[in-house]
Amino acid sequence: MKITEIIGKIVSGEEITPEERLFLSDYQEPEVKDRIPKSRLDQEIARKKELEQRVEDMARQLGEYENRGLSETEKNRRTIENLNQKIENLTRERDEIRNAKDAIEMRTRIGALAEKCNFDDHDYLEYLIKRDGKNVTDDEEMNGYIAELMKASPRHFRLDISGGGGSGERRISADTDFATARNCGDIDRMIAHAPAI
C-alpha cells in the first residue's frame, strides 16, 4: 500500500477501506537521511571560517616572503601597484552605480512626464528623448518638446473625452487607458486603470 494511492482516493472522493484507514493511522514520515544535522552545519561553517583565515594568513606571508629580498623602493612600488589596482576597481564600481542611479532617475522623470502629458508609452518616449538628445531635467525644453510631439504624433497621447452627445457625465478615459496600457505592456497603468468588476 502506498500513501500516494490512498491520498489519490481521498482526493477523488472514493471510500477508503478499513485496511487503508489502519495504514493511515499508523503511518509515520520516513527518516530523511540526506538531511544534515545543525551541529554538523555549525562545524562546517566554523571550519570554513578557519580555512578562510588560514588563506588570508598565507597570502600575507606570501607577500612578506616576496618582499623579503626586495629593496625598500621595490616594496613601495608593489604596494603602490596594489593600491592603484584597488582604486581602479573601486572607481569602476562607483561609476557603474552612478550610471545605474542616473538611469533610474531618468526613467522616473520620463514616467512622470508621460503620465503628466498622457503619453501612452513610457519606453517609446524615453527612446524619443534619447534619440533627440533632450534634457529631461529642463522643464521648459520638455514642455516645448512635448508640444512638438503632440503635433507630430498625436496618436501617442491619450485624450479625456466624454461619451455621447455632449452629456459630459461619463468619462471613457479609464477604459482607453487600460487598453492602451495593456497594448504597451505597462503593468502599473493596467492596475491603476483596471475596470471595476
List, in order, residues 6 or more apart from 160 with CB less than 8 Å away: 118, 171, 173
H runs (alpha helix) in 13-37: 18-26
Full domain range(s) for residue 128: 72-157
Last residue within a domain, chosen from 126, 141, 157:
157
Compute the mean pLDDT over every residue in the chain, rounded to the nearest whole number: 82
Domain count, the chain: 2
**pTM for this structure?**
0.43
164 and 105 housed in the same domain: no
Classify residue 32: in a domain, yes or no: no
List, in order, residues 6 or more apart from 194 with CB less than 8 Å away: 178
pLDDT digits (tens, 9 = 90+) for 19-46: 888 888 887 776 666 667 788 888 999 9
